[in-house]
């Protein structure tokens, strides 16, 4: 904490000058002010310690307090703090090569600063790609209800969460939504696999309803994250890929949360054996230490941009995108993840955490527990028989009780009315067994 402020002054100044993200107004509420972080723990100005069960905003994959990440950025800032990527620089070249290694294929990398920007970039590239291939009518994008793709006018239009859009519409035109398959709330007559196939067929139907020659791309998170941790059946993902290929629709995979080890593999899509046309990524790329995002475009899609004629190039610039210090830090972050086998650790610790939380399966207010790697969703209900979603009050109480006992848990906030009832856990991938035991202890207490 800065030595010239008392705690009280900090709270007053915060109240006077700050506009907080996603925070509803309440008179005289005191916002938690964080001053330090180490490993999976954060500390506020009153010296309360919390296990950060949400990795900040789903992003501190390598854990807090990594000296080598700070050093990598500092060295780069001293050597060369900035240059735009209309030219090139060494950290960006090396990081784009490393990302290709992680992706296991040949992609061209366009750097930005945030997931929203990475998705905006993907939409523009997709439209221009079709235009330059003589298919200028292809401008529409299909995405899924409950998904989140960003907060700018295009990425928010792709988002399937009405509560995030309300009062900001109309957004960018040309975005259409379909249902995502959901295991817990599927129609009773279907197995999960059959329901998944039916939802994939909805994609094909929608492409035809819209006229296939007008559809540019389909964007999906491998797992819908902020919308409620909805994990697809593998058959769904394969069928979606097949439909996109048949209709010439680009498959855009949003890895902003699922990427960088979170689901137990380098990228979430690698759990499903598919080859995306475009992959967008952010958050865990730097473990949240500096802003950076990337749009990875399959090499074949780059060819129409390699023409020496007016307007054939991608006319998009981003002042800070691919900042040298952020790229250097990201490179070091990926080295740490490889050296410490953090994707494997996510898988192993995910299984262990599930075993520790399995006791909740019998709780009258826990309808469903789902997870992949260290990405957990606990669907909270008022009634197990009817699956009536838990009220906002019940969810707020659970999160508040967790916090009082030293655990920061999350939920799918402000997504779609009446379905903001999924408790989320997404701790750093460095979490150890004692820390998993701490999560279990807190949840046992809260749910008793």
The tens digit of pLDDT for each residue in 212-247 reads 999 999 999 999 999 999 999 999 999 999 999 999
Give me the pLDDT at residue 1, please.
43
Res 2 pLDDT > 90: no
Domain 7-65+341-447 fold is 3.90.1150
Domain ranges of the chain: 7-65+341-447, 67-339
Lowest mean per-residue pLDDT among 21-35, 120-134, 139-153, 332-346: 21-35
Q: Calculate what percentage of the chain has a pLDDT beyond 70.
A: 99
- Give the three-class secondary structure for 35: strand
Identify each DSSP E strand in 316-373 by its residue range.
366-372
Cα dihedral value 299, 256, 431, 408, nearest 10: 180
Q: Are 36 and 46 in contact (CB under 8 A)?
A: no
Q: Model confidence at 29, in pLDDT bands (50, 70, 90)?
A: confident
Closest residue by Cα to residue 267 from 184, 337, 356, 189 = 337
Strand partners of residue 224: 230
In this model, does residue 26 exceed pLDDT 90? no
Q: Which two tokens stand for residue 27?
A: 């008179």
- Looking at the chain, the whole-number percentage of residues with pLDDT higher than 90 is 97
Residue 3 has pLDDT above 70, yes or no: no
pTM (two decimals): 0.97
Q: What is the pLDDT of residue 4?
A: 77
The pLDDT tens digits for 382-427 are 999 999 999 999 999 999 999 999 999 999 999 999 999 999 999 9
**CA distances from residue 283 to 115, 147, 259, 261, 341 in whole angstroms, order as listed:** 7, 17, 8, 12, 18
Query: What does CATH list as the number for 67-339?
Result: 3.40.640.10
């Amino acid at each position: 904490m800065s030595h010239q402020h008392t705690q009280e002054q900090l709270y007053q100044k915060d109240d006077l000058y700050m506009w907080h993200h996603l925070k509803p107004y309440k008179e005289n509420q005191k916002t938690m002010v964080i001053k330090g972080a180490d490993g999976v723990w954060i500390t506020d100005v009153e010296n309360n310690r919390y296990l950060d069960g949400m990795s900040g905003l789903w992003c501190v994959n390598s854990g807090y307090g990594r000296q080598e990440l700070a050093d990598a950025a500092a060295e780069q800032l001293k050597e060369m703090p900035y240059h735009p990527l209309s030219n090139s620089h060494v950290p960006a070249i090396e990081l784009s090569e490393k990302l290709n290694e992680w992706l296991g294929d040949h992609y061209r990398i366009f750097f930005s600063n945030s997931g929203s920007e990475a998705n905006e970039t993907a939409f523009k590239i997709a439209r221009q790609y079709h235009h330059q291939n003589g298919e200028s009518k292809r401008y529409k994008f299909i995405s899924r209800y409950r998904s989140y793709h960003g907060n700018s006018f295009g990425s928010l239009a792709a988002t399937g969460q009405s509560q995030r859009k309300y009062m900001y519409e109309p957004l960018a035109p040309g975005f259409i939504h379909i249902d995502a398959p959901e295991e817990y709330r599927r129609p009773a007559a279907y197995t999960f696999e059959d329901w998944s196939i039916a939802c994939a067929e909805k994609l094909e139907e929608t492409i035809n309803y819209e006229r296939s020659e007008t559809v540019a791309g389909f964007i999906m998170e491998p797992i819908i994250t902020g919308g409620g941790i909805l994990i697809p059946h593998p058959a769904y993902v394969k069928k979606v890929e097949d439909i996109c290929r048949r209709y010439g629709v680009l498959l855009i995979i949003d890895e902003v949360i699922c990427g960088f080890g979170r689901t137990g593999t380098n990228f979430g899509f690698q759990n499903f054996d598919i080859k995306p046309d475009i992959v967008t990524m952010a958050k865990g790329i730097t473990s949240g230490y500096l802003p950076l995002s990337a749009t990875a475009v399959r090499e074949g899609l780059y060819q129409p941009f390699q023409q020496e004629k007016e307007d054939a190039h991608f006319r998009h610039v981003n002042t800070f995108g691919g900042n040298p210090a952020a790229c250097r830090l990201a490179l070091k972050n990926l080295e740490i993840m490889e050296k410490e086998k953090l994707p494997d650790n996510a898988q192993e610790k995910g299984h262990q955490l599930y075993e520790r939380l399995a006791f909740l399966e019998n709780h009258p207010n826990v309808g469903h527990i789902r997870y992949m790697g260290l990405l957990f969703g606990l669907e909270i209900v008022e009634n197990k028989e009817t699956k009536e979603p838990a009220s906002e009050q019940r969810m707020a109480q659970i999160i508040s009780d967790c916090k009082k006992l030293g655990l920061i848990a999350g939920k799918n906030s402000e997504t779609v009315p009446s379905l903001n009832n999924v408790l989320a856990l997404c701790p750093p991938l460095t979490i150890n067994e004692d820390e998993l035991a701490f999560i279990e202890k807190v949840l046992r207490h809260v749910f008793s």
